[in-house]
Amino acid sequence: MPPRMVSDQESAPERSTDHPRVTWRWARSIVLAVMLFLVVRTFVVEAFKIPTSSMEGTLLVGDYLLVNKAVYGPAVPFTSLKLPAWREPSRGEVVVFHPPHDPENNYVKRVVGVPGDTLEMKEKTLFVNGREMQEDYVRHIDRSGDATHTNMRWQRNHLLAESAPTGGFSGSRYGRPVSGEGASSFEDRSRSGYRPSRDNWGPILVPEGSYFVLGDNRDNSEDSRYWGFVNRGSIRGQPWRLYFSFDSSDQRAGNGLRAIRWERVGQPVR
């Protein structure tokens, strides 16, 4: 007996019953993928782009970063809560944060001062707790001078009393009595006499719950020198790796591929 032929009309109802099942499986997979993406982006890793040259020497304009948000404790959306942090930001680490004067945007700088630190800069050289820092990552490009900045006057309320001629810092806040041999009370000195500049300022004390950040391109960076300390709750994460880098100024022969900095892709951020 010859095999029975099945017409398209007979098989159509069976195929039609499979369509809703296949559609549901696809929709469920897409929803789960989106949910997983949102969880990872919110609590683990997020991508950021470098828009300015303030970290040049370490990060370039057009670098795209993967940022570890879990390390410092990610924020829970639509609440004021944060998940537990693995650890606190350390001196020398590059961080992504919301600055106090522009809380809607993300900035990338390097932490140079943690709570309780004494900071001072003398002729471009940074001193932390009285010790000169060796900052191999810093870039200096401006030799034109060092004018004072009125928007650095916020530092007056955090100035420290100078120590005796033997050196070292007293560790007390400006304008308050200072204990210790040979220390000056500073009561006879007016805060209005403080004239900070880009390359010369301090010594100042980093308060609890705050951090002091600077750009590696030190002569061309707006940072904590000008707009103040970064609150701990405003630090979003630590850059981990570069996943892409594009030099928009390099469009040789109209070939965009040549503008990709292939040698930077996959590099860690230090």
pLDDT in tens, 202-238: 999 999 999 999 999 999 999 999 999 999 999 999 9
What pLDDT, in 10s, does the model give residues 146-177? 878 888 999 999 998 654 333 443 333 333 33
Tokens, residue 146: 């060092």
- The alpha-carbon radius of gyration of the chain (Å, integer) is 27
Residue 176 lies in a domain: no
Looking at 54, 170, 210, 234, which residue is catalytic?
A: 54
Residue 100 lies in a domain: yes
Angstrom distance (rounded) from CA 186 to CA 58: 40
Assign 240 to helix, strand or coil. Answer: strand
Domain count, the chain: 1
Q: For 27-36, 84-93, 123-132, which range has the lowest pLDDT when averaged over its residues?
A: 27-36
Residue 34 lies in a domain: no
Instruction: Tell me, yes or no, if the pTM score tops 0.85.
Output: no
Residue 94 lies in a domain: yes
In this prediction, residue 26 carries a pLDDT of: 77
In this prediction, residue 92 carries a pLDDT of: 97
| Listed residue (89, 102, 115) closest to 204, CA to CA | 115
139-144's contacts with Cβ under 8 Å and 24+ in sequence apart are: 139/56, 139/57, 139/216, 139/217, 139/218, 139/219, 140/218, 140/219, 141/217, 141/219, 141/220, 142/219, 142/220
Q: Is 54 a catalytic residue?
A: yes
Angstrom distance (rounded) from CA 239 to CA 97: 11
The label of the residue with tokens 């955090």 reads: 158
Residue 4 lies in a domain: no
Angle 216-220-222 from CA coordinates, rounded to 5°: 85
Looking at 69, 109, 224, 245, which residue is catalytic?
A: 109
Domain that holds residue 143: 39-159+194-264
Q: What is the domain-level CATH number for residue 75?
A: 2.10.109.10
Band the pLDDT of 39: cuts 50, 70, 90: low
